[in-house]
Amino acid sequence: MDPTATLSPVDDSSRHGPLDDLPTGFRWGVATSAYQIEGAVAEDGRTPSIWDTFCRVPGAVAGGDIGDAACDHYHRMPEDVALMRDLAVDTYRFSVAWPRVQPGGRGPANPAGLAFYDRLVDELLGNGIDPWVTLYHWDLPQELEDAGGWPVRETAYRFADYALLVFDRLSDRVRTWTTLNEPWCSAMLGYAYGAHAPGRRDFAASMHAVHHLLLAHGLATQRMRAAAPGPVDLGITLNMGTAEPATDSDLDAAAARRSDGLGTRLYLDPLRRGRYPADVLADLERRGIRLPVEPGDLEIISAPIDVLGVNYYMGHLFSGVDEDGRTVDAAGNPVVRAIPRGLPRTAMDWEIFPQGLTDLLTRVARDYPGVPMVVTESGAAFDDAPDATGYVADEDRTAYHAAHIAAVARACRDGADVRGYFAWSLLDNFEWAYGYDKRFGIVRVDYDTQVRTPKRSALWYRDTIRRLRG
Ligand code: FCB
């Protein structure tokens, strides 16, 4: 299907609520990340990241999938930028692969690696698209994991050095920089649950990783601020949901508090208030865990930011009681159990709960005021059924985005300062431990031919952007 063809505008606003409350200048974007789309993992000096290693662990990734080729974006970048232009987006959020720019995670920049992002930025600007850089979307150089990874303090300093290499090269043209994508996932999925690279299962190590990730963010933020050649917007992207008690029992209230503590406040409190939440520290202490905080760390972590990226996919109810009526688990820790609301689900089995995005944005605006937010990821995987031409009439994904954009508009009406919405994702891509099977793209990728075909959701997104921009 011709991506420039005009699809009759679908006015979903009547179903999902008015969009007039979105502020003028609202940014419309799409997001991706390096390992999920680039491929070319051994080209131009790139060395392995923890994901290259993890993908080769039998059973770690569905179908044994690996990112070696992914969407071949490294070679098809100009075509992908042209696609974004045709979809009328004004911002592209992408991540830089650390092992491409600084192989091995130490030492000087690799000119060939940096040159790719240099070309990407120029291509974007030449097409009227604003580049939004994420410095770390989970592809830690393997050598740094071998030296201890995020549970080790040294990794934070390595990150700040790497950040400066990229910043020095691109900050003359890139205004917006986010340090980390979703440190909760890096720490918890990577070091506590073993579901993501590097696949460790050590809760204490994951808590040390949290502190060093936040320290890395703060160090890089301070150094970029000091080195900025002009105005820049610096920030971080967190994944957050909503955590409400399933009933009004004290046990459920405690479960919701614990989930909110470890999922949201453990990050936002040090970033925005310069201290870790006392209840979370006390819970950790009961488990014999102390965060490795050194004098001065919290001042670094709470360095001023200009934008907070919010990634939202779901919100949960919580119970402090398991299916068998127990209130402590086998390890002796209080039960924190997510309870489904009984809503329709995506192919990830995630409940579709747009109101949670409104609730989250208004809550962050209330509890952590003073920084504008941008929804840096929102989207859904569904089991797409392409027609013979590769076109996917994805009503489900279209409705998902429509409902979540309307949810942002409601948050704005309620006073939250939200300045953009980025669809996850531009392309179907390597969905981490789920491999290529779960498709989040508004553009279909045929992995045999690498042909890109905008889905109905992409055309709807384009028409919605054009309509709202006037
Ligand atoms: C987020 C990640 C992104 C993608 C989506 C579905 O947690 O940042 O890379 O996997 O989930």
- Is-contact 434 62, C-beta < 8 A? yes
pLDDT digits (tens, 9 = 90+) for 275-310: 999 999 999 999 999 999 999 999 999 999 999 999
Q: Is 1 inside a domain boundary?
A: no
Q: What is the mean pLDDT of residues 338-365?
A: 98
Q: What is the pLDDT of residue 470?
A: 80
Six token digits for residue 152: 């080790």
Residue 280 is assigned to a structural domain of this protein: yes
Mean pLDDT of the chain: 96
Q: For residues 386-413, give the mean pLDDT.
A: 98
Model pLDDT, residue 90 = 98
Per annotation, catalytic residue among 182, 244, 351, 431: 182
Could you read off the pLDDT of 422-458 as tens digits, one per residue? 999 999 999 999 999 999 999 999 999 999 999 999 9
Q: Could you give the percent of the chain with pLDDT greater than 90?
A: 95
The first and second tokens of residue 140, run together, are 């830690």
CB of 440 sitting under 6 A from ligand 1: yes
Task: Tell me what the mean pLDDT of segment 389-407 comes to.
Answer: 98
**377 counts as catalytic:** yes
Q: What is the extent of the structural domain holding 49? A: 9-469
The pLDDT of residue 6 is 46
pLDDT surpasses 60 at 3: no
The domain total for the chain is 1
In a domain, 4, yes or no: no
The C-alpha atoms of residue 305 and residue 372 are separated, in whole angstroms, by 9
- Ligand 1 centroid–CA 39 distance in Å is 17
- Determine how β-strand 316-319 pairs with β-strand 337-339: antiparallel
We report the CATH number of the domain holding residue 250 as 3.20.20.80
| 281 occurs within a structural domain | yes
Q: Is residue 152 domain-resident?
A: yes
Question: What is the structure's pLDDT at 219?
Answer: 99
Please check whether residue 86 lies inside any domain of the structure.
Answer: yes
Residue 10 in this model has a pLDDT that exceeds 80: no
In angstroms, rounded to a whole number, what is the distance separating the alpha carbons of residues 452 and 410?
A: 33
| Res 8: pLDDT | 43
Q: How far is the CA of 10 from the centre of ligand 1 (A)?
A: 27
pLDDT value of position 331: 92
Nearest CA to ligand 1 atom 9: 33
pLDDT digits (tens, 9 = 90+) for 101-149: 999 999 999 999 999 999 999 999 999 999 999 999 999 999 999 999 9
Q: Which of 297, 400, 392, 393 is nearest to 348 (CA)?
A: 400
Nearest ligand 1 atom to alpha carbon 440: 6
Domain-located, residue 3? no
Which pLDDT tens digit goes with each residue over 231-268?
999 999 999 999 999 999 999 999 999 999 999 999 99
Peptide bond into 425 cis (omega under 30): yes
139 lines ligand 1 (CB under 6 A): no
Residues whose CB is less than 8 angstroms from the CB of residue 282 and which lie 6 or more positions away in sequence, other chains included: none
Residue 145 annotated in active site? no
CA of 37 to the centre of ligand 1 (A): 12
